[in-house]
Structure 1
Amino acid sequence: MLAGAWRGFALRTRQTYAGWMARYGEWVAGAEEAMDTERGGAWLAELVDKGKVSFATQKQALNALAFFFRDVCRKEEVLFDVRLRRTERRTPVVMSAKEVVALLDKLELRHRLMAEMQYGGRAAAQELVSLRVQDVDRARGQVVVRGGKGDKDRVTVTLPKRVKESLDAIWGDLRAVHGKDRAEGVPGVALPTALARKMSKAGERWEWFWIFPADHLSRDPETGIERRHHMHAKVYGEAITRAARKAGVEKRVTSHVLRHCFATHLLEGGTDIRTLQELLGHADVKTTEI
């Protein structure tokens, strides 16, 4: 998937597209047939009609297929005569304010801070784990979410005093981990592609360090370099699910539920839907209304 790298796609996007292309490759008879856009359209139509997948998944497959023909096969015009099928959205799970407090009380400090920032700061899980030191203004109590939905930066409202105190509590530990990595000659953290080309050593600087670093070093899947990555969103999500069980919350709780709870509690408190749309970073108010 070198073409994906040239386009500057994130690793997760390239992995997702590669997965769809593997499924398409298994469906067609061979390489020559795979490059036929009509066969691509037929595969997509079958996925839509018989695949029992959500609208979002259908759209993801469409984007991957369009990328394959346009950027890999170098087709000038890529059109598929396929209408995606709208699927019913599930009613979101919402916890009461009392349940949110009970869940928070069952989390260890780092995960609790993450949950508080997600609830009070409206960040999605992947945005949260990707935060860097420079994204947090402790004095003003603000966090900048870089390249969220639509690749737009989003500034949160001032964080509650409790969240600022939790941030202060972990700051010394962050400094210690960063200092240890520097002393042991660990390569700097991964950087945005364009910056990595210009300033390859910037990843060693404090301001680029993760707010929520992983406990152990791991090998960078793109470069093969062993370095410290941020905590995986799955690790945080599993912590939330465990805490919900311990708190006796009898609902299917995921990390995304916290973000939705924030929105619901604001609406219940009288916040205007358009204001909420801006706070959550949604491009379409219909997304906020769900």
Structure 2
Amino acid sequence: MSAFIESVRAALRTKRYSLQTEKSYLAWIRSFIRFHDLKHPTDLFNEEIEQFLSHLAMNRQVSAATQNQALCALIFMYKHVVKREITGLKYSFTKKPRRMPTVLDVQEVSTIIGFMKGKYRLIAALLYGSGLRINEALRLRIKDIDFTNKTVFVFRGKGGKDRYTLLPQKLVEPIKQQIEVSKKVHKRDLEDGFGLTSLPPSLIRKYGNAAKDTAWQYLFTSSTRCEHPHDGYVCRHHIHQTAFRKNLRTAVVASGINKRVTAHTFRHSFATQLLLGGTDIRTVQDLLGHSDVRTTEIYTHVIGSRFSGTASPLDNLAY
């Protein structure tokens, strides 16, 4: 069965899927095969797919998004590897419930960031100050910071879109200090005969030794070198999301703030604070990298601008 899994991996890489998607899809496909006692997918049809999806919903009680991801993985496998279209399934993609994002006020942000230290504090400040997603912040390279124009360049954000966003003045010096840390790490790598940064698949053949340039190094470099998962060369990647999440969780607990705070909460808070400060919604849309302004409009609901000037009837009641 490992040969089949490798054929799925090859198809994913041919289609230029991200490494994270590759890992997720392969995990779901392995789970599907194990659920059916290691039968080959060519011998499994709609009924078996429906049984697996029912198992996820009923026994494992996964979320709608997780169930959709599993279905996407199976559809990809059958379409591109088994070469069979999946039609007539009793299951369709589950609609995710629309939830209002959790946001923090200025004092809450200040308190949480105050309990964070070092590079993790700087990452949190970038999430809030520039409206970055966590993976966008971790993938920043030295060349992406423009101190002259006070901008941060986001390369291939969600949906593969490039964009510029704000570089807060307060972060200029901390980022310069972090760049010096990355330069020192890079210098040691070069002295050890390495120095290549991690690049998207196949770009190493385009850039070659240019990938050793300081400008290409990650702002938040990993503490260890690794083998590139696609191209096999030894490189240095950025720090992992889990390291930041652990530090953030510790800070939230220490702050005593009773909200569910994730890395993305800082991005939500960035958007709401801009709108509260009078920034027009189109500008906020561009800074966040949203394709549709309707996605950005959810923040107007969060801050209650739709109800501006509307008094509750209870406030007029004498009791």
TM-score in terms of structure 2 length: 0.81
Query: 1:125 aligns to what?
Result: 134
Partner Cα distance (2:271, 2:165) in 1: 13
| Structure 1 SS opposite 2:109 | helix
By how many angstroms is 1:151 displaced? Answer: 0.7
Q: Which runs of no fewer than 5 residues in structure 1 stay unpaired?
A: none
Give how far 1:125 is off.
0.5
Q: Does 1:64 align with 2:73?
A: yes
Q: How does 1:46-61 map to 2 (within 5 A)?
A: 46=54, 50=58, 52-61=61-70
For each residue in 1:145-198, what CA deviation from the matched residue of structure 2 results, as whole angstroms up to 9, or x when unmatched? 1111111011103x2210112112222222211111111112511112242222
Residue 71 (structure 1) shift = 1.4
In structure 2, give the amino acid aligned to 1:135: D
Between stretches 85-94 and 3-12, larger displacement belongs to 85-94
Once residues 76 and 220 of structure 2 are traced to their aligned partners in structure 1, the CA distance between those partners, rounded to angstroms, is: 33
1:220-247 CA-partner distances (Å, limit 9, x unpaired): 4445554321011111122222222233
> Structure 2: how far apart are the matches of 1:107 and 1:236?
10
Going from structure 1 to structure 2, the CA distance change for 1:102 and 1:44 (only over 3 Å counts) comes to: same
Partner of 1:251: 259
Matches within 5 A, 1:91-106: 91-106=100-115
Match of 1:229 in 2: 237
* Aligned residue pair count: 288
Cα–Cα, structure 1 residues 68 and 108, in superposed 2: closer, same or farther, change >3 Å? same
Query: Greater CA deviation, 177-186 or 27-36?
Result: 27-36
Structure 2 CA distance, aligned partners of 1:68 and 1:190?
Answer: 28
Judged with a 3 Å threshold, the aligned counterparts in structure 2 of structure 1 residues 184 and 218 are, in CA distance, closer, same or farther, namely same
**Alpha-carbon distance in 2 for matches of 1:138, 1:233:** 26
Distance verdict in 2 for CA 1:105–1:49, change over 3 Å: closer
SS in structure 1 at match of 2:153:
strand
SS at match of 1:214: strand
Letter in 1 for 2:104: M
Instruction: Give the corresponding residue for 1:3.
Output: 11
Structure 1, residues 81-114: CA drift from partner, whole Å, max 9, x if none? 3322324344432211011112222222322221
1:143 partner SS: strand
Counterpart AA for 2:197: V
Q: 1:144 aligns with which of 118, 143, 153?
A: 153
What is the SS of the residue equivalent to 1:215? strand
Question: Is the 1:131–1:212 contact (alpha carbons within 8 Å) kept by the matching residues of 2?
Answer: yes
Q: CA deviation at 1:124?
A: 0.6
Greater displacement, 222-231 / 122-131: 222-231
Greater CA drift, 106-115 or 14-23 = 106-115
| Structure 2: segments with no counterpart, 5+ residues | 1-8, 300-319
Q: Let me know the Cα RMSD of the aligned residues.
A: 2.4
Question: SS at 2:208's partner residue?
Answer: coil
Report the counterpart of residue 165 of structure 1 in structure 2.
173
Instruction: Specify the alignment match of 2:25 in structure 1.
Output: 17
**CA–CA distance in structure 2, aligned partners of residues 209 and 91 of structure 1:** 37
Counterpart Cα distance in 2 of 1:40 and 1:286: 38
Hey, what does 1:276 align to over in structure 2? 284
| 1:215 paired to 2:251 | no
CA radius of gyration, larger in: 2
User: Percent identity among equivalent residues?
Assistant: 33
